[in-house]
């Protein structure tokens, strides 16, 4: 399974591909995480907020390839993508493990993935560098086996996405 999470509509022709699922997060009802820890300690693996996010994180967990499309803000993801990433914590357990000598949450059934991030709207090199540092941190908590960041202008987002998807076998 391959997944595309985008913070904007994409005009992408996936043809007959059944191995790719694409979510336009900007048109989904995804409210922010309320930090209740319900997905860890009340209904493990399930978010207590039953909106569109519950359709997304199981698919993200089972994907071996993920393409994230997000505007960059202050060196991180903008609100639409960040809201979804925060709502994806049911894929982790409350329990802590050691990973590369650091403490991190134990993952549930999350497939290690090759991640590509099409990051647009960064204002300067400093912001790009900070985003690189963030994604390096995400790799540990979001099961990235490998990752690549493609910085681009807003006008070039569609082209960058098409280019990436064309490489998918």
Whole-number minimum distance, CB 158 to other proteins, in Å?
A: 24
Q: Which stretch binds other proteins (CB under 8 A): 7-15, 136-144, 150-158, 159-167?
A: 136-144
> Could you give phi then psi for residue 69, rounded to 5 degrees?
-120, 115
Site string (79-118) toward other proteins, x via CB under 8 A: x--xx-xx-xxxx-xxxxxx--xxxx-x-xxxx-------
Cβ closer to other proteins: 139 or 158? 139
**Three-class SS state of 118:** strand
Alpha carbons 140 and 146: distance in angstroms, whole number: 10
Question: Does residue 2 contact residue 63 with C-beta atoms inside 8 Å?
Answer: yes
Q: Which stretch binds other proteins (CB under 8 A): 18-26, 41-49, 151-159, 161-169?
A: 41-49
* 52 alpha-carbon distance from chain centroid: 15
| CA nearest to 86, candidates 165, 10, 17, 33 | 33
Cβ closer to other proteins: 26 or 162? 26
Cβ closer to other proteins: 33 or 165? 33
Alpha carbons 27 and 8: distance in angstroms, whole number: 8
**Quick one: how many helices (H) and strands (E) in the chain?**
5, 8
Site string (21-40) toward other proteins, x via CB under 8 A: -----------xxxxxx--x
Alpha carbons 159 and 156: distance in angstroms, whole number: 5
**Which residues sit at the interface with other proteins, rule CB under 8 A?**
1, 32-37, 40-42, 44-46, 54, 57-58, 61-62, 73-79, 82-83, 85-86, 88-91, 93-98, 101-104, 106, 108-111, 126-127, 130, 133-134, 137-138, 141
């Amino acid at each position: 399974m391959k997944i595309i999470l985008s913070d904007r509509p994409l005009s992408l022709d996936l043809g007959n591909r059944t191995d790719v699922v694409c979510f336009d997060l900007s048109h989904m009802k995804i409210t922010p995480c309320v930090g209740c820890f319900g997905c860890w300690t009340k209904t493990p693996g399930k978010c207590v907020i039953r909106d569109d996010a519950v359709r997304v994180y199981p698919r993200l967990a089972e994907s071996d390839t993920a393409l994230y499309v997000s505007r960059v803000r202050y060196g991180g993801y903008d609100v639409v993508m960040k809201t979804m990433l925060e709502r994806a914590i049911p894929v982790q357990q409350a329990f802590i493990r050691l990973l590369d000598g650091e403490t991190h949450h134990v993952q549930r059934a999350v497939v290690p993935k090759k991640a590509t991030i099409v990051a647009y709207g960064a204002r300067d090199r400093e912001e790009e560098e900070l985003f690189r540092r963030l994604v390096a941190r995400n790799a540990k908590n979001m099961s990235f086996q490998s990752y690549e960041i493609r910085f681009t202008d807003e006008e070039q987002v569609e082209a960058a996405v098409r280019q990436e998807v064309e490489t998918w076998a």
